[in-house]
Amino acid sequence: MKTSNVEVICPMITPFDGEGKPSRENLKVFLDDMKEFGINKIFPLGSNGLFNLMTLETKKSFLKMIQEEASNFEVLVGVGSQNTEEAREMAKYAEDLGFDKIVLQPTYYNKAEQSWIIRHFEAVSEVFSGKFYIYNIPQFTGSRVEIDTMKSLVENIGRIEGIKDSSGDIRFFNEVAANFSDSLKVFQGQDDLLLQALSIGAKGGVCGTTNINPLVTDVYKYFVDGNITMATKTQRIFNQFFKMVNEYPFPSMVYAAFYRKHNIKGKLPDPITTIPRIV
């Protein structure tokens, strides 16, 4: 396949060490994998990164590591938080470190109203001058970013570069694509729906399985090369693999597979209890 710029972003794990702390050494191993997989876009401190299980200080120290080690990558920094104050703090820190793209979802626990989502983005935009990605993941935040809210953000913030929809709701995704794929980068956040997202106009995918396996990038490549038959075939084979990965509580499996592949002793932060053995 001739595709060079693969629009598949890795929503990366935080490569914790055996004590549950981010490890520079493991990060290097991870980034080597990415190069090997042909992936040059990473999204640290997202849901796969378990940002919510890390303290503000730990998140900052890990972001510093990314800055120092991942200079060859396009980095979309996850600054999402349960409240605006901490999201601003992270966004400011990302700006200070020189990053120019952040990913932001609604606050969570008590469910955000649409007006709260707008206020959240505005408040963060006051301290970050780069580009924004809107991150829709209602199964975790409790609130969907509605189409009208997206429109309002695009209009008022003015620096929205893309949208990551991880809702898994294909009809909602199709609405996002219909409204924004001509002007913004619309990404599918569910690996098993990549081909169907591309077929309706998505730019690419933010695919968790790329933490451990590049297969889903072939779906992208075949599609943009116009080889639908092979894209279909690959997505279907991939989906069997994806099903296996999802038999374990999110996001244990990608961690387990990464650690096992490299024979690393890693530990996930409390309260995650176990890393499943891979058969």
Binding positions for a copy of itself, rule: CB under 8 A: 47, 50, 52-55, 82-86, 107-113, 115-120, 123, 139-142, 168, 170-171, 174, 177-178, 192-193, 195-196, 199-201, 226, 228, 231-232, 235-236, 239-240, 249-251, 269-274
Residue number with CB closer to a copy of itself (37 or 211): 211
How near is the Cβ of 279 to a copy of itself at its closest, in Å? 20
How near is the Cβ of 168 to a copy of itself at its closest, in Å? 7
> Looking at 164, 185, 203, 221, which residue is catalytic?
164
How near is the Cβ of 63 to a copy of itself at its closest, in Å? 17
> Looking at 108, 135, 220, 259, which residue is catalytic?
135
Cα separation of 74 and 149, whole Å?
27
Cα dihedral 175→177→182→183 (10° resolution)? 90
How near is the Cβ of 88 to a copy of itself at its closest, in Å? 8
CA distances from 235 to 7, 47, 211 (A): 16, 23, 17
Residue 3 exposed, middle or buried by CB count within 10 Å (0-12, 13-18, 19+): middle
Active site includes 135? yes
Residue number with CB closer to a copy of itself (20 or 214): 20
On whether the CB atoms of residues 188 and 206 are closer than 8 A, the answer is yes
Within 13 Å, how many C-alpha atoms sit on residue 35's CB side? 11
Active site includes 164? yes
Q: What is the CA radius of gyration of the chain?
A: 18
Residues with Cβ < 8 Å from 85, sequence gap 6 or more?
none
Residue number with CB closer to a copy of itself (170 or 264): 170
Residue number with CB closer to a copy of itself (130 or 201): 201
Q: Which residues pair with 160 in a beta bridge?
A: 132
- Which residues are catalytically annotated? 47, 109, 135, 164
